[in-house]
Structure 1
């Protein structure tokens, strides 16, 4: 039986604590129970905090830990919950960094849920390695940890003994992934069926929303961004776009890329994809009609752009996200 220590951080989302606990707890239990077999748990799961006292999650749920991090001398796996603010965490719970490094040196694997990746990143253990986190924290993560290879499109990253997941519910995906890693595919499949939770999800691309970076303090580029956003369905050439702010095309392209992380073209494409996503979610018009509305004449070209950014073809996206009746 492997030992799993779930570390609940200050101001965490409850699901990033309880969901991993549930997944590991039920492995070898629920499936056997449903099939009239003796339960054979594969994991011993414990919940700890830095001080070992009862605490409230962001939604007000009160949880009682089994102890503090000082009570854990050895564990096979540490699962780090989500956090609200990394600077506040470091100020209030900075001792967790040394503890995580000590556990790692002793052979523990470390997994993070959602924004918990920031905590692991602060230890330096992810330097030069891949990681993922919730798409909403991507820009903050990239700025803070340029030495880490952020793979935002991935739902899970696996560095052998360091694991990250993107999004709150991805804690279930990562936990099922680790059940498979430690116990084999059959046990993971049984767990997936018992919990009625998909196994094998690998990307968060369909859920990501394009983030309009505007905190760069370049007023000329901000003006160009706003023009593109207001005229996303219009075609433009680089020369005229640069001329709007009295810049050369080369200067405009360089400054736009430095400020936003995108070229003007990919910026416009991303806006068009976001508009198309909303239309697929809320309207019944064809993709050809949507293509024309967002400014393309060739639906095959836009379909390729859409699929590249979302990881789904338009029909799959609509099927997944369009509102349907439960009756």
Structure 2
């Protein structure tokens, strides 16, 4: 992701400029370089040319290593980047910080550096991450997770959050605050949950489960109970729960809840209807129950979500 590479470089340049104009802040001694496998230019996202300073072999003595997001097919990238992964695995233990943004965490995990650690990444790739790295504790709701030597930032634009966090680690609170202000961003980022998008898995190959998914997505405004879903699916409760969970990773009740909240989010973004009307439209007879459920999933109240994402 080209913007992550140069965006972090710009953030560090801003920190250096601020420090140079202050008697109390210091960013001296930090050399910021870009490295590629062989020291040759590469194409980032959008086919933009990224010019490195060094090859990986010349950057082995780095104290801090930042990995940008993988933009594209994750598994193909992991196969292609075996040399980078081996380089990460062989870094001397004195390298005091290893950090990733978004799907860059896959590279750290593939190198075996995240086993037993608590990390975050892009929620859209959470299922793939859990499948590949079951020994890693994934905290998708968090924007940044600092586990001493390893720092992982969440999805996409969290590269600036990570840059400011690294400035805090290397040069202290005051320079981090000043840099965050220069970038017009918060020093303490909020949860990633408001940005989650529920994309229903439908390529699982279980036609009965798929049929019930489609039924739920049509009947969500109604007072749907487990008996209704059992009748619609034509299965026993036990068989339905087992197969639905295996296919989607959710129980039928959880799936219904996610469908309702996702539709409520779209309504809050585009309509000015009162909260109780929206609750009723997505199948909640009790507005307080809707607000609790919304907060559990989204991390914001419906009103706060509307304020953040409504159409201007």
- Measured against the shorter chain, the TM-score band is over 0.9
Specify which of 177, 183, 187 is matched with residue 171 of structure 2.
Answer: 183
Matches within 5 A, 1:305-320: 305-320=293-308
Whether 1:41 aligns to 2:19 is no
- Per the TM alignment, residue 237 of structure 1 is displaced from its structure 2 partner at its CA by 2.4
Could you tell me whether the CA contact under 8 Å between 2:216 and 2:256 is conserved in 1? Answer: yes
Contact 2:63 2:94 in 1 (8 A): no
Deviates more, 1:235-244 or 1:56-65: 235-244
Which residue number corresponds to residue 63 of structure 1?
50
The alpha-carbon distance between structure 1 residues 114 and 104, as it changes in their structure 2 partners (threshold 3 A), is farther
Alignment-derived partner of residue 13 in structure 2:
25
The separation in 2 between residues aligned to 1:282 and 1:202, in whole angstroms, is 23
Q: Which residue does the alignment assign to 1:251?
A: 239
Counterpart for residue 204 of structure 1: 192
Deviation at 1:286, TM superposition (A): 1.1
Residue 39 (structure 1) shift: 8.1
- Residue number in structure 2 paired with 1:322: 310
**Post-superposition offset of 1:30:** 3.0
Instruction: Give the deviation of 1:64 after TM superposition.
Output: 0.8
Unaligned runs of 5+ in 1: 1-12
CA pair 195-240 structure 1, distance change in 2 beyond 3 A: closer
Tell me the TM-score normalized by structure 2: 0.93
SS at match of 1:295: coil
Q: Residue deviations 1:148-197, cap 9 Å, x none?
A: 11111111122211111111100111121222222222111111111212
> What is the aligned residue count?
310
Query: Pairwise mapping of residues 94-105 of structure 1 onto structure 2 (< 5 A)?
Result: 94-105=82-93
> Which is worse superposed, 51-60 or 236-245?
236-245
Give the drift of 1:198: 1.6
List alignment gaps of at least 5 residues for structure 2.
none
Q: CA deviation at 1:31?
A: 6.1
Q: Residue 78 of structure 1 aligns to a residue in which SS?
A: strand
* Structure 1 position 291 matched with structure 2 position 276: no
After superposition, the Cα gap between the structure-2 partners of 1:39 and 1:302, relative to the gap in structure 1 and judged at 3 Å, is closer
**1:172 aligns to 2:160 (yes or no):** yes
In structure 1, the residue matched to 2:217 is: 229
Q: TM-score, normalised by structure 1?
A: 0.89
Going from structure 1 to structure 2, the CA distance change for 1:64 and 1:193 (only over 3 Å counts) comes to: same
Instruction: Render the CA deviation track for 1:70-117: whole Å, top value 9, x for unaligned.
Output: 111311110011112233223332111121122253434211111111
CA RMSD of aligned residues (A): 1.9
